[in-house]
């Protein structure tokens, strides 16, 4: 492994030797038998952006939750600006100048931006004079840090990127000097992520200290000053970012060399497995999400669907997988192995799809992929519990199901390897591995897989990619939806780009570039002559409300 640069006081302190913004000494925390943090020390210099990386379940979120007063450490000390502090709850964290932006936002959806920002803040909620002051302060902060949001907008009307800005504003309004962000870009479009990074740089220039948890080494290299690496509950290395490389960081995280690209031979496509003709869908809000999709996937082929989220990919996957939004209207034709797939009738459910050999890794593992209160072994079989190998006459064969789950946990290195643990007690990446293991190991003829590596660490990404390629090599068809262009480019045999409910074009990975795909993702089929005037993001145009599918009486 690469030598771990020291974390002697000089590394953790700023040039003028002011005390470090954060110093953790000997922090330990166990959840039952799981030692989530073991004797962790960490120094974060004032006015820097400090990355924390590590495999899924390494203990990153636990450590930051301790710093934010969510968990009480079993032992250890926390110093903020050189002074020992006790942080029994998040109010104490806020008093110590610490703010946190979680992976799953904690905003009240039917409150306005302003109400959310002042909710629970010191000067009491919703008092008239204070509301006026709060509005002024919010507008000042929003302007200063480029966090444009309308104070009167209701949260549920905002995009995810804007909701995240509200979370940041909430922390700044509480005068946070230290801001912790847990995987902040997982849910953002590329343009939103760029904007977030500009905001973070601005905050740093104002002297704020930022701790960033991320699995994306590109982000670490782009924005952090220092980076610390956790492995299996321990802090194993610290680096100055400009002195390290993605390969070195990957190795420090996983403890072995990691391939940062996918190795695969050219595809040898066979008979058509999925044929989609003129597929249209109007959702419950009467927005036309799919506007005539045509695509084919053959056996032994991976079709990657690229696009900025919100352009219909979710509806496409959900509809094919048997989870369309209730009340949506659908037309068109889908054939799987030459046989028509019921799109709206009694056999359009996920269970019937699975019996037809369609595996589905949904984009949102917590809502559609897992039952969070059920154990890992139950989740490993969820949807396939009626299969003959899991039945003992009319009863479920729990011995067989548990044995099957134990195999999946071992092969996919799901940690901790405890089949009795409820899904909600696994880290995000390990939850993802449970869903992927369940669906891939059924060896489906057609695998629908959405955001397969969201929140997944670099070693597990390598493994999941290998398994997807192996499925293809075994003659199966894969429909891959991902907002990660790198993932689409390296895994796909063909790439279809979706924009505003349509396929903008298809390309072969070897014959296209990220720039060309980016233009298609922004809705531009031909590069404009005026290259300076390229659109930035693939946000679909204002959504038109429609009532009827073509051919239906108005």
User: Residues interacting with ligand ATP, by CB under 6 A?
Assistant: 31, 34, 36, 54, 56-62, 415-416, 425-430, 457
What minimum distance in Å lies between the beta carbon of 237 and ligand ATP? 15
Shortest distance (Å) from residue 62 CB to ligand ATP: 3
Q: What is the largest CA-CA distance in the chain?
A: 75
Residues 6+ apart with CB under 8 A from 511: none
Q: 126: which residues sit within 8 A by CB, 6+ positions away?
A: 115, 118
CA separation, residue 89 to residues 96, 98, 135 (Å):
11, 11, 27
Rounded to an integer, what distance in angstroms lies between the CA atom of residue 291 and that of residue 540?
Answer: 13
DSSP label at residue 1: -
User: Closer to ligand ATP at the Cβ: 19 or 416?
Assistant: 416
Closer residue to ligand ATP (CB): 213 or 488: 213
Cβ neighbours around 361 below 10 Å, total: 26
Which lies closer to ligand ATP via its Cβ, residue 101 or residue 274?
101
**Alpha-carbon span 314 to 302, nearest angstrom:** 18
DSSP codes of every residue in 124-166: -TT-HHHHHHHHHHHHHHHHHTT----TTSBGGGS-HHHHHHH
CB of 471 to ligand ATP, least distance (A): 24
Residue 351: CB minimum distance to ligand ATP, A: 29
Query: Cis before residue 416, ω within 30 degrees of 0?
Result: yes
Whichever of 61 and 241 has its CB closer to ligand ATP, that residue is 61
Which residue number, 334 or 460, has a Cβ lying nearer to ligand ATP?
460
Residue whose CB is less far from ligand ATP, 229 or 336? 229
- Walk across the sheet containing 22-31 and list its strands: 34-44, 22-31, 75-80, 83-85
Taking the least distance from each CB to ligand ATP, the nearer of 58 and 220 is 58
Q: What is the DSSP letter of 532?
A: G
Where on the phi/psi map is residue 506: left (φ > 0), alpha (ψ -120 to 50), or beta?
A: beta
Query: With respect to ligand ATP, which residue has the nearer C-beta, 441 or 457?
Result: 457
Of 330, 303, 322, give the one whose Cα is nearest residue 508. 303
């Amino acid at each position: 492994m690469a030598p771990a640069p020291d974390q002697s006081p000089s590394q953790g302190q700023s040039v003028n030797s002011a005390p470090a913004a954060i110093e953790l000494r000997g922090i330990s925390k166990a959840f039952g038998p799981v030692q989530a943090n073991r004797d962790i020390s960490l120094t974060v210099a004032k006015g820097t952006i400090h990355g924390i990386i590590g495999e899924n379940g390494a203990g990153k979120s636990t450590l930051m939750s301790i710093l934010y007063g969510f968990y009480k450490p079993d032992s250890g000390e926390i110093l903020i600006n050189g002074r020992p502090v006790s942080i029994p709850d998040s109010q104490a964290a806020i008093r110590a100048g610490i703010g946190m932006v979680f992976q799953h936002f904690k905003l009240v959806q039917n409150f306005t931006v302003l109400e959310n920002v002042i909710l629970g803040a010191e000067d009491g909620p919703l008092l008239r004079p204070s509301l006026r002051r709060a509005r002024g302060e919010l507008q000042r902060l929003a302007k200063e840090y480029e966090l444009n949001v309308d104070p009167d907008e209701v949260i549920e009307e905002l995009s995810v990127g804007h909701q995240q800005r509200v979370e940041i504003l909430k922390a700044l309004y509480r005068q946070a000097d230290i801001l912790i962000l847990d995987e902040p870009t997982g849910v953002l479009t590329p343009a939103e992520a760029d904007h977030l990074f500009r905001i973070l740089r601005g905050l740093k220039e104002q002297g704020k200290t930022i701790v960033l948890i991320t699995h994306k080494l590109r982000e670490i290299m782009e924005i952090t000053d220092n980076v610390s690496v956790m492995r299996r509950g321990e802090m194993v290395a610290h680096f100055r970012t400009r002195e390290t490389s993605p390969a070195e960081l990957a190795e420090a995280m996983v403890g072995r060399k990691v391939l940062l690209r996918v190795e695969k031979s050219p595809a040898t496509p066979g008979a058509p497995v999925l044929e989609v003709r003129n597929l249209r869908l109007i959702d419950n809000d009467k927005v036309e999400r799919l506007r005539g999709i045509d695509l084919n996937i053959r056996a032994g082929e991976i079709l990657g669907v690229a696009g900025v989220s919100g352009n219909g990919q979710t509806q496409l996957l959900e509809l094919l997988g048997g989870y369309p939004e209730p009340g949506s209207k659908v037309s068109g034709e889908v054939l799987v192995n030459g046989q028509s797939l019921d799109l709206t009738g009694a056999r359009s459910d996920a269970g019937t799809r699975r019996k037809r050999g369609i595996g589905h890794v949904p984009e949102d593992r917590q809502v559609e992929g897992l039952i969070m209160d059920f154990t890992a072994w139950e989740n490993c079989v969820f949807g396939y519990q009626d299969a003959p190998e899991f039945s003992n006459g009319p009863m479920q064969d729990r011995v067989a199901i548990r044995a099957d789950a134990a195999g999946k946990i071992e092969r996919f290195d799901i940690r901790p390897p405890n089949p009795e643990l409820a899904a909600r007690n696994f880290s995000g990446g390990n939850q993802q591995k449970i869903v992927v293991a369940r669906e891939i190991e059924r060896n489906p003829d057609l695998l629908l897989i959405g955001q397969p590596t969201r929140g997944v660490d670099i070693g597990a990404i390598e493994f999941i990619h290998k398994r997807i390629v192996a499925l293809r090599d075994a003659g199966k068809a894969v429909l891959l939806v991902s907002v990660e262009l790198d993932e689409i480019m390296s895994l796909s045999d063909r790439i279809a780009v979706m924009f505003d409910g349509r396929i903008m074009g298809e390309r072969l990975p070897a014959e296209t570039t990220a720039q060309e795909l980016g233009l298609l993702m922004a809705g531009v089929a031909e590069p404009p002559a005026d290259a300076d005037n390229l659109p930035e993001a693939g946000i679909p145009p204002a959504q038109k409300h429609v009532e009827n599918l073509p051919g239906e009486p108005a």
